[in-house]
Amino acid sequence: MFKNTAENRKGTKKARTEAIVEREYRQLARLVRVIDVLYALVIWRSVVLLPHPTVEEVESAGSLWRAFLPYGNNFALVAVGIALVVIYWGQNNRLFGNLQRTDGYHASTAVMQVAFVLLFGYFVRIGLEVGDMPQVLAAQSLALVAAGAMAILGWRHAVRDGHLVSPVLGRNEARELSITNFVEPTVAVLTIPLAWVGPTPYTLAFVLGMPAVGWCYKAFAASLPVLADALPEDRAADDGRSGK
């Protein structure tokens, strides 16, 4: 009787583990769909926020193109904002493409990353309404720093867990992804003091900083082991779908 009870408990524990893992596989697909929709909404909203001249302004300027000239800085800020959202979306796709499932902690960081990207879009809208105030530009950078931090935390958790990432992901590739995750938040940190210099240097810092910082991280990756997360040696032992 006791033997049967022990076997039943063991079977229940195994079934529960398999159920949890199966749910994590399905949860990843749902999470990807939600995140893609939210990023698409941010881009759509950014395009809607693009400034446009009034009829009076067009008549006063004499042509439509001349009427757009006073909005040049606003167009540049929105264009850079859309580019940054696309970059973060691409980063998200690159990381999620190397996952096979997710869990509660990783899903929470992914949702928080999108929330901070939405907050960035909110501050972009404020900047269009009140002007290029240094506090607003700094708030945009801080939102992107927080979004990048969530990506770092989520990927670090996935890599250290080992079972969340794809079994075909190599250790060198995982290490490279861990390091390149620091590019976006690093550039965002560097732009914070430039918010008080002016909108033009602030915008140029994003445009020129992304490729420059990305090159530096790749060039000195070997000297930055503290930023890289190593896959565990036993990650191939998937506790949910092994043997299926």
Give the orientation angle of helix 134-161 with respect to helix 171-180, to 10 degrees: 160
Task: Tell me what the mean pLDDT of segment 22-43 comes to.
Answer: 85
Query: Could you tell me the residue ranges of all domains in the chain?
Result: 26-227
Per residue in 174-232, pLDDT (tens digit) is 888 888 889 999 999 999 999 999 888 898 899 898 888 888 877 776 555 545 555 56
Q: Which sign does the torsion angle of CA 20, 23, 27, 28 carry?
A: positive
Produce one character per residue of 93-110: b if its CB has 16 or more CB atoms within 10 Å, e if not. eebbebbbbbbeebbebb
Does residue 239 register a pLDDT over 50? no
pTM of the model: 0.78
Q: What percent of the chain is modeled with pLDDT above 70?
A: 82
pLDDT digits (tens, 9 = 90+) for 81-125: 888 899 899 888 888 888 888 888 999 999 999 999 999 989 988
Give the separation between CA 5 and CA 7, rounded to whole angstroms.
Answer: 5
Q: Residue 163 is encoded by which pair of tokens?
A: 């079972």
Cα–Cα distance for residue pair 197/179, rounded to 1 Å: 29
